[in-house]
Amino acid sequence: MTDEKFNAATYLVDRHQSIGAGDRVAVRGSRALTYRELGELTGRVAAAYRRLGLRRDDRVMFLMADDVELLAGILGAFRAGLVAVPVSTMLTGAELGRLLADSGARMLVAGHEFDGAAAAAIAAAPDVEHAVLCGPGELPTPSGVSSRSWDELIALGNDAPAELRIAAPTTDDSWALWLYTSGTTGHPKAAMHRHANIRHVYETYGAQVLGIGPDDRCLSVAKLFFAYGIGNSAFFPLAAGATTLLEPRRPTAAVIAERLLADRPTLFFGVPTFFAALLASELPDDAFSSVRLATSAGEPLPAALQARFTARFGVEIIDGLGSTEALHIFLSNRPNDIRPGTTGRPVPGYDVELRDAAGVVVPVGVPGSLYVRGASMALGYWRRTEASRDAFQGEWLSSGDTYVETADGYYTCLGRSNDMLKAGGIWVSPAEVEARLLEHPAVAQVAVIGVPDENGLDKPVAVVVAAEPVTEDALVGWCREGLAAFKRPRRVLFVDELPKTATGKIQRFKVRDLVATESGVRA
């Protein structure tokens, strides 16, 4: 462990005050704060944590909508040398309880909209000593757990001694942030990140790919509890002295239209399913006139969707690949260097390799499992030794994705390594079939999985959300016209919506369960 002092809160907030930029607007949510005001607020939050007896490396879990209070709570944890653990607001009480118990968090801070889940979770988490409710109402807690409002928490810090507000003497390697994986495999794990990782993702993707500067305004569909979202809405804008636009409401086309008009963002961060929703909406074609660049992550961005969005709204989208374990994006297209249908090239500061099942690097043009290394990799998974050893191999992280590299250095996603399927003895990429189906005007969303036929051989099955009436035969024929015959879906099932994580990723294990229920076979 390095002895050099580094605290992410100082880096993201205090640094701007020291260079005379304290009056710049740092955040616009339900209210606006300058960098000076944000620094004062995070100091009070840190002091309150300390007055309640929280110590270095204690975990504070957050179940809150994106707003000033959540941002201040996370930054206050960094300042106090605690570990911030923001989690999905879509969790049930039982799901939250499992994460709360797993993390060993001593404090839960919850928004009033989620008080029911918070109360149920606390009852299942014996390490919790303090509960804070942001907003109206009271949070019932069992004996031995203190309960207070957000305002009461801040009041604790208002009259605290000055020394309780200063940044803890953390180092590059000190714990700062735990993020639970999004659950596409059904088993969330806490990836443990250092203070230095926050600086690294800004200095690589934020500075060198986005080119973010003090005049930018950042609006993200992905929320702060997601690695993609916390980079977009906290690390990048604050590190650059820019403005983050926090939206506590559920993102819809109408909500985004309102923020586009009111706040004129220059950087917009989305996911493929939301870009599709925006295209299907009645947004005016000039809605994105203030946006200089849009980014996409979470799953591959189909070239057809990318082209339609840019043609209508006049904004380029750069598709990228990141992960909770890497904290943000490490493989990406760039402004003025976009190869549609690919995930671009490695972000400066990261190395990638494609390996076969024996761990040998494959030649260019041959599919392989994607491995990445860079300074932002997590330290491992909390209390998951076997999973940590599988994913973190020396300096390298196994991403779980299958990719192929072109001769000129661009990378194309062929799907998750465990999503690839064989049809007629030949590998089929679900992403390729999905991209073809999304080119059909009647297809809004789609997931393709392998389902065993009567002989136990996997065949592609498409689960489709239709934008307009269309038949199964029409879509199978559409695929046959644009793909090799063996890649066509053998069946098309129509559903009202696809199961997704809170960040818009399709949960393929739930899609398999859905198909199994519909067809009566194991998917």
Domain count, the chain: 2
The tens digit of pLDDT for each residue in 260-295 reads 999 999 999 999 889 988 998 999 999 999 999 999
Does residue 1 surpass a pLDDT of 50?
Answer: no
Q: Is residue 252 part of a domain?
A: no
Q: What is the pLDDT of residues 197-226, one digit of tens each?
A: 999 999 999 999 999 999 999 999 999 999
pLDDT of 364: 97
Question: What is the pLDDT averaged over residues 415-425?
Answer: 70
Buried b (16+ CB within 10 A) or exposed e, 439-477: bbeebbbbbbbbbeeeeeebbbbbbbbbeeebeeeebbe
How many CA atoms are closer than 13 Å to the CA of 92, on its beta-carbon side? 2
How far is the C-alpha of 333 from the C-alpha of 331, rounded, in Å? 7
In a domain, 481, yes or no: yes
Task: Give the lowest-confidence range in 412-426, 453-467, 507-521.
Answer: 412-426
Q: Kindly calculate the radius of gyration of the chain based on its CA atoms and give it in whole angstroms.
A: 23
CATH number for the domain harbouring residue 149: 3.40.50.980
Residue 523 pLDDT class (50, 70, 90 cuts)? very low
| Domain range for 501 | 421-519
| Residue 218 included in any domain | no
| C-alpha span between 27 and 167 (Å, rounded) | 21
CA–CA dist 50, 58 (Å, integer): 11
Mean pLDDT of the chain: 93
Confidence of residue 67 (pLDDT cuts 50, 70, 90): very high
Q: How far apart are CA 30 and CA 394, in angstroms?
A: 44
Domain end, chosen from 174, 192, 210, is at 192
For residues 457 and 42, the model is more confident at 42
Q: What tens digit of pLDDT does each residue of 307-348 get?
A: 999 999 999 999 999 999 999 999 999 999 999 999 999 999
Averaged pLDDT, 156-178: 96
Residue 119 in domain: yes
3-state helix, strand, coil in the chain (%, to 5): 35, 25, 40
Find the mean pLDDT for residues 248-257: 95
The per-residue pLDDT for 426 is 67
Decide which of 143, 162, 192 is a domain's last residue: 192
Residue-wise pLDDT for 347-402, tens only, equals 999 999 999 999 999 999 999 999 999 999 999 999 999 999 999 999 999 999 99
Q: In percent, how much of the chain has pLDDT > 90?
A: 81
Q: Which residue pairs from 379-385 have beta carbons closer than 8 angstroms and sit at least 24 positions apart in sequence?
A: 379/175, 379/192, 379/193, 379/194, 380/191, 380/192, 381/189, 381/190, 381/191, 381/192, 382/102, 382/103, 382/178, 382/189, 382/190, 382/192, 383/102, 383/190, 384/189, 384/190
Gap between the Cα atoms of 220 and 243, Å rounded: 12
Domain end: 192, 216, 249, which one? Answer: 192
Work out the pLDDT band at 454, boundaries 50, 70, 90. low
Residue 90 is given by DSSP the state T
Q: Is 215 within the bounds of a domain?
A: no
pLDDT tier at 521 (50, 70, 90 boundaries)? Answer: very low
The model's pTM is 0.86
Query: Per the domain annotation, does 158 fall within a domain?
Result: yes
3-state DSSP of 281-333 = CCCCCCCCCCCCEEEECCCCCCHHHHHHHHHHHCCCEEEEEECCCCCCEEEEC
Bridge partners (DSSP) of residue 346 are 331
For residue 480, the number of C-alpha atoms closer than 13 Å in the C-beta half-sphere is 8
Q: What is the DSSP letter of 131?
A: E
| Residue 522 pLDDT | 42
Measured distance CA(237)–CA(267) in Å, rounded: 10
Does any domain span residue 334?
no
Q: Is residue 174 in a domain?
A: yes
